[in-house]
Amino acid sequence: MRFAFFDLDDTLVDSRTALRAWAVDFAAAYVPNGLHAAAAEEVFELVDLAVNWPAFLADARGRYGITASDEELMAQVAETYPGKFVLDDRVRSGLAELRAAGWLLGIVTNGSTLVQQAKVDSVGLRPYVDVVVDSEAAGHRKPDRRIFEVAAEKLGVELGPRGWMVGDRLDKDVAGGVAAGLRTVWITQGGQRAAGSAEPAPASTHAVASIFEAFQIVRESESDPEPESESESESATG
Ligand SMILES: [Mg+2]
């Protein structure tokens, strides 16, 4: 069975736009003089740099003198952030076309169960994929191969070159996909943050500017010859 895994943030959805919108709400609620645009921009930059919510909240707590509990702050994030995401119609149709052609699809995302699963539901992605695996529930984060093992098991497939991993981070999505034996597409859109590493992309990785080109590569790979050509080498030695 052919299958493809997709990263969520900045791959299927534009997280930076959503994060900017969320930062306005957070600044208004928790930051002194938070109604100023500069405060929201600072919050956006802090959370963008921190990459994960606990790190951001720990930083923000000290910086802004926030007295709310971690639970309260995470609840604020879970309640307000997922609603800031929008799903591009072309992403919806790209996924629908793959499934119509018989592909099994999964989302493999690093992040908290609460926030990541809420994003998927908020934008209406859930009906377009077969599984959504977040790192908190899986107990492993990309690039660890084991998060892909969890996703493959849920999907009922074997990891290997019949599968794809598509994502915007070389150090997480591409490195993880390679570790899992998958073919990989790196979405270079997103610039320096996407690189995340001084290492060049592996030679086998397709580098494209957008998710739409990634859909096309995966779709057209249907007609690829089988990557495993075991019969020839076996007959040569036998
Ligand atoms: Mg990403």
Q: Give the pLDDT confidence of 180-225 residue by residue, as tens digits.
A: 999 999 999 755 444 455 567 788 889 999 999 999 999 999 655 4
Ligand 1 mean position to 155 CA, how many Å?
Answer: 21
Residue 181 CA to ligand 1 center (angstroms) comes to: 19
Any domain includes 233: no
Residues 66 and 45 in one domain: yes
Checking if the pLDDT of 179 tops 80, the result is: yes
145, 163 contact by CB (below 8 A): no
Using the mean position of ligand 1's atoms as its centre, give its distance from the Cα of residue 12 in Å. 8
Question: Structurally, how many domains does the chain consist of?
Answer: 2
pLDDT of residue 150: 98
100 with 135, same domain?
Answer: yes
Identify whether 64 is part of a domain.
Answer: yes
Q: Is residue 237 part of a domain?
A: no
Average pLDDT of 36-59? 88
- Point out the domain boundary residue: 57, 84, 111: 84
- What CA–CA distance (Å, rounded) separates 69 from 48? 21
Residue 30 sits in the same domain as residue 140: no
Output the pLDDT for position 197: 54
Of 84, 111, 142, the one marking the end of a domain is 84
Question: Is 228 within a domain?
Answer: no
Secondary structure (3-state) at 210? coil
Question: Which residue type occupies 78?
Answer: A
The reply to whether 70 and 108 lie within a common domain is no
Surface-to-core class of residue 137, CB atoms within 10 Å of its CB (0-12 exposed, 13-18 middle, 19+ buried): middle
- Residue-range definition of the domain harbouring residue 96: 3-13+85-223
Span 50-59, average pLDDT: 85
**Cα(226) to centroid(ligand 1), Å:** 29
pLDDT band at 160 (very low <50, low <70, confident <90, very high): very high
Q: What number of other Cβ atoms are within 10 A of residue 211's Cβ?
A: 26
Q: Tell me how far the alpha carbon of residue 50 lies from the centroid of ligand 1, in angstroms.
A: 14
Question: What's the pLDDT score for residue 213?
Answer: 96
Residues whose beta carbons lie less than 5 angstroms from ion ligand 1: 7, 9-10, 168
pLDDT digits (tens, 9 = 90+) for 107-137: 999 998 989 999 999 999 999 999 999 999 9
Cα(229) to centroid of ligand 1, in Å? 33
- Cα–ligand 1 centroid distance for 107 (angstroms): 11
Q: Measured in angstroms, how far is the CA atom of residue 153 from the centroid of ligand 1?
A: 22
Q: In terms of domains, do 203 and 123 share one?
A: yes
Q: 170 and 119, same structural domain?
A: yes
Burial per residue of 145-168, b for 16 or more beta-carbon CB atoms within 10 angstroms, e otherwise = bebbebbbeebebebeebbbbbbb
For residue 173, how far is its CA from the centre of ligand 1 (angstroms)? 8
Q: Provide the 10 A C-beta neighbour count for residue 45.
A: 13
